[in-house]
Amino acid sequence: MSRSWFPRAVFGAKTPGQAVIIAAIALPFIVAFVLLVVEVSERWLEVAMLEDALQQASRSAVQTLDYAAMARNENLVRGVPAGGCADVSTKEPGDCDAIVTIAATFFTANLANVRGIATNATNPSDGDSVAEIVARTRWTILPRGGSCAYSNGASRTVPAQPLICAEVRPTMRGIVGWGEFTPLITASDTLDAVRAP
């Protein structure tokens, strides 16, 4: 008995154009999958760029030290009361204005090339502008160390070195345009302890 009849009997005879129909059915699913991968990877990249910008701003701000106080073995951040400031922003003037202004200046400069941020502040569908993100950032400055608590329940504790923590929840938009997203961006940095060789 010959087996040559089996594939035709099960799958039917080949006719010209069958592959086009299968491709037409599969193409929308393939395109949607590719766009989903592009959108997810773009959002991940945007969040990573924003985290890096905030981390570098907090790192630069914590380096603003009162070196004379350090020589007296008092780890104080210049222009900050000994008790520090918790949950402050550029919109709310307070005792830590000097260090918050420095941090906000660095953060503004670092956000210049971050994708997903509105370039036109008059169009809210583009996401938040740089100025809105910087104004909404919450800073905690602890010149003698301590613990920062973030709104997601995480915390960072440093016993003795000056500590600066920051968090912001910006409204951003991906590259494909499948709606806005609001990631929580956190950062913290401390002055590294000097160790004798």
pLDDT in tens, 31-62: 999 999 999 998 899 899 999 999 999 988 88
| Domain map (residue ranges) of the chain | 18-190
Annotate 103-126 with b (16+ C-beta within 10 A) or e (fewer): bbebbbebbeebebbbeeeeeeeb
Residue range 63-116, pLDDT digits in tens: 876 655 666 666 566 667 777 787 787 777 677 888 888 899 999 999 988 887
What would the mean pLDDT of 162-175 be, rounded to a whole number? 87
Give the Cα separation of 125 and 55 in Å (integer). 27
Give the Cα separation of 87 and 147 in Å (integer). 12
Tell me the average pLDDT of the chain.
Answer: 79
pLDDT, position 115: 82
Which pTM does this prediction carry?
0.76
Q: Are 99 and 80 in contact (CB under 8 A)?
A: yes
Residue range 112-151, pLDDT digits in tens: 888 877 655 555 556 688 888 999 999 988 887 888 889 8
80 against 159, higher pLDDT: 159
> Phi and psi at residue 8, in whole multiples of 5°?
-70, -35
